[in-house]
Amino acid sequence: MAPPLRVGIAGLGTVGAGVVRLLRRQAALLDKRAGRAIEIAAVSARNPEKSRDLDLSGIPWRHVDELATAPDIDVVVELIGGEDGPAKALVERALMHGKSVVTANKALIAHHGAALARLAESHGVSLAYEASVCGGIPIVKGLREGLAANNIRELHGILNGTCNYILTQMGESGRDFDDILAEAQRFGYAETDPSFDIDGIDTAHKLAILTAVAFGTEVDLASVHVEGIRRIGALDITYADALGYRIKLLGIARRAADGGIEQRVHPCMVPKATAIAAADGVFNAVVAEGDFVGRVNFVGPGAGGGPTASAVAADLIDIARGHVVPVFGVPASALSRADPTPITRRFGAYYLRLEVVDRPGVIADVAAALRDQNVSLESVLQRLRAPGDNVPVVLTTHETDEARMTAAVAQIAALDAVVEPPRLIRIEQF
């Protein structure tokens, strides 16, 4: 049997602890799957003295800088996090010293993926990052290897469990966003500062990575249009249900007819019958469409120590077996720079909720603003109130382009009878 694969683990948070537990508990299984033992040669963490519910007996502690150069370590597992700082320095140094790297760091790959891919390939080692997107779902391998014979036309997915939990609970309980967010923080599903999740940044990082894998392009985070879920209200959830939709925060990537690539993250209304609408709670889901395979659905837990550790271990097994593939499916030198397709060129239907003073002529004024931009109404829903009260009015449109819809919404927002900023949600007919 080949000599053991010696692993140095940097970071002992939820995921790092999960990796240690998995590598120890599943040692016999991993030996069979990898064809050699996978051993923890060293660990590193910011505070070695911290009390941890983790058996580290017999495992040497090293300073993080040593992991990249130690001769008794073959692979560095980076679980520190962050796009720069110690994480980036460790990964770069390890690759330059001929060590393969496994990481769960989505921010690092989203910001520096192409440069790190070139560095890994120039030194003949692996940079593996299955755990950086969708936790335990094998979406990177699925796109890069399982669907390698396909031209991917589109992918869309729920890439953030925190947002999916909040939207699911809003639908099930009828409570509003702030209440559910506070609950998610109490349960540990949301951070104390939840901005990274609820403002769509986490989803944007993951979408940028998946886009590069699916289309063979350099990671282009700057071209992702990003909106979060802060402005989704309980009323929107209720109206979506009445209209036959569920609201999900999605990452969407498509190749446009002119060869450009659109990347966008925002709340969407999706038909209840779709696979993506059925993924609830903290689950993630991705749908990819290839020219030969058709549509393929990936669903599973998107975070947590166990699922993410599972993805890390899968990458370690590949490295142990000498299974080396280009980081993004094609050699780094062959990664293209596709022209980004701006959100203004989106073509589709829209949901618009207004809070207006209930008086004669208001709907006519709103319809006139839409007419001026050549936007056609499909339906109008209005709750009955006493004349003079504020009343929610919900409109859905036929398909139109984003630029026209944006102009119409600006015109509507300027009407005296509209008392709150309009709520606009794109309708996606997958």
Cα–Cα separations (whole angstroms), residue 387 to 23, 309, 382, 383 = 67, 59, 13, 12
Give me 321's structure tokens. 């077996």
Give the residue among 4, 54, 59 at the shortest CA–CA distance from 305: 54
Q: How long a stretch of residues is the chain?
A: 430
Catalytic residue among 99, 206, 248, 272: 206
Give the residue among 89, 68, 82 at the shortest CA–CA distance from 8: 68
Q: Is the dihedral of CA 161, 165, 168, 171 positive or negative?
A: negative
| Bridge partners, 377 (sequence order) | 397
Give the residue among 74, 113, 73, 148 at the shortest CA–CA distance from 325: 148
3-class secondary-structure state, position 396: strand
Between CA 285 and CA 194, with CA 341 as vertex, the angle to 5 degrees is 45
Let me know if 206 is a catalytic residue: yes
| 375, 405 contact by CB (below 8 A) | yes
Please report how many Cα atoms fall inside a 13 Å half-sphere around the Cα of residue 372, on the Cβ side.
13
Q: 370, exposed or middle or buried, with CB in 10 Å at 0-12, 13-18, 19+?
A: buried
Report strand pairing: 100-103 vs 261-271: unpaired
H or E element: which one contains 263? Answer: strand 261-271
Catalytic residues: 206
